C-alpha cells in the first residue's frame, strides 16, 4: 500500500508531472551570525568587538546573496544552565530603512543597539550574536522619496574582495 508520496512518485516515473521544479530558490528570511565565547566575558569592549565582527559578517553574507536587511537584532547572554548565577539576556532591535547590506551602516546600528541595551553588572556573557531580518532582494528595496537610492559601495566591494582572499 502506497501513501500519497508513493503514488506521486509512481506517477512521476510514468511521465506525469506532480512536482514543479523550483528554478529560483526562496529568498532567506533572516541571517544570523552568533558564537559562544571560549572564555566568558563581562567587558563591554570584548562584546563590542564581537558584535562588530558578527555585524560585518552578516552584512557580507547579505551582499554575497544580493540581499538587504530591514531589521537588525543584537543580543548577548550569560550561561542559562548555571544554577549559581542569574541568567541575563541583553537584546535590542532596530529597523533599517531603507533596507541595506552596507557593512558600515549595519555595524554602526549594531554598536548603537549594544550601547543602549548595556547594563553594568557582575554578569559574564558566554554568547553574542547579530540577526538581520525582514530581508528583501537588493534590487527590490523600496524607494525612499527623501533619500538617494543606495548604490553598491566601492568600499564594501573592496572589503569583500579582501575577505575572499
Residue among 93, 89, 90 at smallest CA distance from 71: 93
The matching CATH number, chosen from 2.40.40.20, 3.30.1490.100, 3.30.450.70, 3.40.1230.10, for 24-139 is 3.30.1490.100
Integer CA distances (angstroms), 159 to 57, 59, 136, 154, in order: 11, 11, 22, 9
State yes or no: pLDDT of 24 exceeds 80: no
Which of 8-22, 69-83, 136-150 is predicted least confidently? Answer: 136-150
Phi, psi (rounded to 5 degrees) for 47: -70, -40
Confidence at residue 15, expressed as pLDDT on a 0 to 100 scale: 85
In the chain, pLDDT over 70 holds for what percent of residues? Answer: 86
pLDDT, tens digit (0-9, with 9 covering 90-100), for 51-66:
999 999 999 999 999 9
Domains of the chain, residue spans? 24-139
Q: Are 66 and 27 in contact (CB under 8 A)?
A: no
Confidence at residue 58, expressed as pLDDT on a 0 to 100 scale: 96
Q: Which three cell numbers stand for residue 4?
A: 500519497
Residue range 145-149: average pLDDT?
Answer: 57
Integer CA distances (angstroms), 138 to 64, 67, 157, in order: 11, 5, 15
Please state the separation of Cα 24 from the chain's center in Å. Answer: 21
Q: Are 89 and 137 in contact (CB under 8 A)?
A: no
Residues 6+ positions from 33 with CB-CB distance below 8 Å: 54, 55, 57, 58, 61, 129, 130, 131
SS3 string, 25-92, reads CCCCCEEEEEEEEEEEECCHHHHHHHHHHHHHHHHHHHHHCCEEEEEEEEEEEECCCCCCCCCCEEEE
143 pLDDT band, cuts 50/70/90, is low
Q: Which three cell numbers stand for residue 116?
A: 543602549
State yes or no: pLDDT of 11 exceeds 90: no
**pTM summary value:** 0.76
Amino acid at each position: 500500500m502506497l501513501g500519497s508520496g508513493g503514488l506521486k512518485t509512481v506517477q512521476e516515473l510514468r511521465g506525469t508531472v506532480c512536482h514543479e521544479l523550483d528554478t529560483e530558490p526562496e529568498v532567506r528570511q533572516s541571517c544570523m551570525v552568533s558564537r559562544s565565547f571560549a572564555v566568558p566575558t563581562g567587558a563591554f569592549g570584548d562584546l563590542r568587538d564581537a558584535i562588530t565582527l558578527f555585524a560585518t559578517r552578516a552584512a557580507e553574507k547579505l551582499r554575497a546573496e544580493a540581499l538587504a536587511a530591514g531589521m537588525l537584532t543584537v543580543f548577548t547572554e550569560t550561561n542559562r544552565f548555571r544554577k549559581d548565577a542569574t541568567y541575563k539576556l541583553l537584546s535590542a532591535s532596530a529597523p533599517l530603512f531603507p533596507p541595506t547590506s552596507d557593512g558600515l551602516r549595519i555595524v554602526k546600528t549594531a554598536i548603537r543597539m549594544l550601547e543602549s541595551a548595556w547594563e553594568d553588572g557582575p554578569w559574564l556573557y558566554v554568547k553574542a550574536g547579530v540577526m538581520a531580518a525582514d530581508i528583501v532582494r537588493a534590487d527590490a528595496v523600496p524607494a525612499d522619496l527623501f533619500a538617494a537610492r543606495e548604490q553598491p559601495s566601492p568600499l564594501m566591494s573592496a572589503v569583500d574582495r579582501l575577505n575572499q582572499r
